[in-house]
């Protein structure tokens, strides 16, 4: 607990992790806007913050993990004009907006379960917290940092910046924003184009709207996260996470809203994962490289060579540090597929090692290296490399080139179970056909062993050669015959 350091976007440096109210930890992560199926870009923050959630719990912290569902207020382009993304989908599909939200929320959760991410402690809906959002807008208005125009309420960024610092998270400054938005100002009812909506008056054609002190309308996109994080984690909590694309404007606006209403910095550690590109390009429907998770798991996409197991995708994501760019390609996924198979095979090999009286592998130092990797800003690729170093020795011990005591074998099983399955969240796919195949192979090897004992070399060799034609390689060892399926 005392050694974990995390990279804080707010200070742009690594900092020792000290929770506000240890051993409790509050973590808020921005979830999806549910108007379409989850894609590979959604998988990275889901897996990243699942790793963080799992590791903090492993260290003994009591974690409340909140991940929201945006089902109202997210307008096209992330601006304060345009059509609500969910309302537009509902109009095109001729459905109620909440039907769209319910349908895609359900499918999102199925995908998250396939990736073996733990469910968050609380998963609040924006539409279920309209009252809290209205109350927060009132507080911001009463504090003097909001103004009303034609029934819409906007946040006064320039006024806020005179008291606090707008741009502290993203590194942007007001002069830069003013220069970039000056040409657009005539089109806006806001004082400045960098101001943002807290509440929008609904136009007659707008499907989703609620009664407020200012108008019949709907909340702005940014206000939901400030309202829900405050409700469930308090005015000042430990971790706020999301993709780097949310740093500006979304998270910058969250800080401004919460600080102006509550007069305190809302978050101690801001953690952001980098993005996924597709063959070196940004994922985009216009580039025809948009890959949903359902496509990925089924192989039903023209850019895919095959279907990929969800655990292969999870392992692929964990092989890169969460703050590093990650490029998706068939070659990278296939390399990850081979990597996870090698890892699982090595873990299985632990069961087959004959214990020695002494060890020539320091298991305690190995275990500490695993912790050192994750304590350095959740460095999963270093952890995975360390685990593969251990696999090399396990394989050499199986071949009689290394020694492990029974106690060290048990400790290694504990280490691999803890780090691979509990913390990295990888899992072996249950396959009853594989179990039956193992039983059949056991019978065949027994028949071959009996033939060898009876010096029936012709039958023994025939069994070996026929299996080899099926890509099943037989190896004779001092402990008996073993087999493996060649890829």
pLDDT (tens digit, 9 = 90+) per residue, 275-302?
A: 999 988 887 666 667 899 999 999 988 8
Give the pair of three-digit tokens for residue 300: 């039903």
| 123 and 246 together in one domain | yes
Per residue in 151-161, pLDDT (tens digit) is 999 999 999 99
The label of the residue with tokens 């984690």 reads 233
Which residues are paired to 242 by β-bridges?
Answer: 272
Q: Are 250 and 345 in a shared domain?
A: no
Question: Does one domain contain both 244 and 317?
Answer: no
CA distance 215 to 209: 9
Amino acid 486: pLDDT: 64
320 in the same domain as 458: no
Domain of 318: which CATH number? 1.10.730.10
Looking at residue 192, the DSSP 8-state letter turns out to be S
Cα-trace Rg, the chain: 27
Q: Give the per-residue pLDDT at 123.
A: 98
Domains of the chain: total: 3
Whether residue 13 sits in one domain with residue 89: yes
The residue among 219, 246, 273 that closes a domain is 273
For residue 413, how many C-alpha atoms fall within 13 Å in the half-sphere facing its CB?
13
List the Cα angle 459/464/468 in 5-degree steps: 145
81: which residues sit within 8 A by CB, 6+ positions away? 75
Contacts for 123 with CB less than 8 Å, ≥ 6 apart: 31, 66, 67, 68, 69
Reading the chain (487 residues) residue by residue, the pLDDT tens digits are 679 999 999 999 999 999 999 999 999 999 999 999 999 999 999 999 999 999 999 999 999 999 999 998 788 766 677 788 898 899 899 999 999 999 999 999 999 999 999 999 999 999 999 999 999 999 999 999 999 999 999 999 999 999 999 999 999 989 888 877 655 444 578 999 899 999 999 988 888 899 999 999 999 999 999 999 999 999 999 999 999 999 999 999 999 999 999 999 999 999 999 999 998 888 766 666 789 999 999 998 888 999 999 999 999 999 999 999 999 999 999 999 999 999 999 999 999 999 999 999 999 999 999 999 999 999 999 999 999 999 999 999 999 999 999 999 999 999 999 999 999 999 997 654 566 677 788 889 889 988 888 889 899 888 888 888 787 888 887 667 878 776 5
Q: Please tell me whether residues 222 and 337 are part of one structural domain.
A: no
Segments forming the whole domain that contains residue 289: 278-423
How many other CB atoms sit within 10 Å of the CB of residue 62?
14
Q: Do 67 and 211 belong to one domain? A: yes
Give the whole-angstrom CA distance, residue 326 versus residue 332: 10
């Amino acid at each position: 607990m005392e050694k974990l350091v995390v990279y804080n976007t707010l200070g742009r440096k690594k900092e020792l992790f000290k929770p506000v109210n240890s051993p409790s930890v509050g973590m808020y992560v921005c979830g999806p806007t549910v108007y379409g199926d989850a894609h590979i870009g959604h998988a990275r923050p889901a897996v990243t913050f699942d790793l963080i959630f799992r590791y903090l719990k492993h260290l003994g912290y009591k974690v409340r993990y909140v991940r929201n569902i945006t089902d109202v207020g997210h307008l096209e382009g992330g601006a304060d004009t345009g059509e609500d993304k969910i309302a537009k989908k509902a109009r095109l599909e001729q459905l109620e907006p909440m039907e769209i939200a319910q349908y895609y929320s359900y499918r999102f959760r199925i995908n998250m379960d396939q990736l073996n991410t733990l469910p968050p402690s609380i998963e609040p809906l924006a539409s279920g917290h309209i009252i809290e959002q209205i109350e927060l807008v009132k507080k911001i208005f009463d504090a003097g940092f909001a103004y009303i125009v034609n029934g819409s309420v906007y946040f006064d960024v320039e006024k806020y910046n005179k008291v606090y610092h707008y741009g502290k998270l993203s590194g942007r400054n007001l002069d830069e924003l003013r220069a970039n938005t000056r040409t657009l100002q005539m089109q806006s009812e806001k004082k400045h184009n960098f101001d943002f909506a807290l509440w929008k008056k609904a136009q007659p054609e707008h499907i989703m709207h609620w009664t407020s002190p200012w108008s019949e309308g709907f909340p702005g996109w940014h206000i939901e996260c400030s309202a829900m994080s405050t409700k469930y984690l308090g005015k000042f909590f430990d971790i706020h996470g999301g993709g780097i694309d949310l740093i500006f404007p979304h998270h910058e606006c969250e800080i401004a809203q919460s600080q102006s209403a509550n007069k305190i910095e809302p978050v101690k550690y801001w953690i952001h994962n980098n993005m996924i590109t597709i063959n070196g390009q940004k994922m985009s429907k216009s580039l025809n490289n948009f890959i949903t998770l359902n496509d990925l798991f089924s192989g039903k996409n023209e850019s895919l060579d095959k279907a990929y197991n969800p655990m292969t995708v999870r392992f692929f994501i964990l092989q890169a540090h969460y703050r590093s760019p990650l490029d998706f390609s068939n070659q990278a996924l296939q390399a990850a597929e081979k990597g996870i198979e090698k890892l699982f095979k090595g873990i299985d090999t632990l069961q087959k090692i004959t214990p020695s009286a002494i060890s020539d592998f320091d298991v305690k130092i190995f275990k500490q290296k695993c912790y050192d990797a994750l304590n350095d800003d959740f460095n999963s690729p270093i952890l995975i490399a360390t685990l593969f170093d251990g696999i090399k020795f396990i394989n050499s011990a199986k071949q009689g080139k290394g020694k492990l005591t029974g106690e060290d074998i048990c400790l290694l099983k504990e280490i691999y179970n803890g780090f691979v399955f509990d913390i990295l969240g990888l899992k072996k796919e249950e396959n009853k056909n594989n179990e039956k195949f193992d039983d059949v192979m056991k019978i065949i090897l027994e028949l071959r062993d009996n033939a060898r004992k009876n010096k029936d070399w012709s039958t023994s060799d025939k069994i070996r050669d026929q299996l080899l034609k099926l890509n099943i390689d037989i190896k004779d060892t001092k402990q008996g015959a073993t087999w493996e399926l060649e890829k």
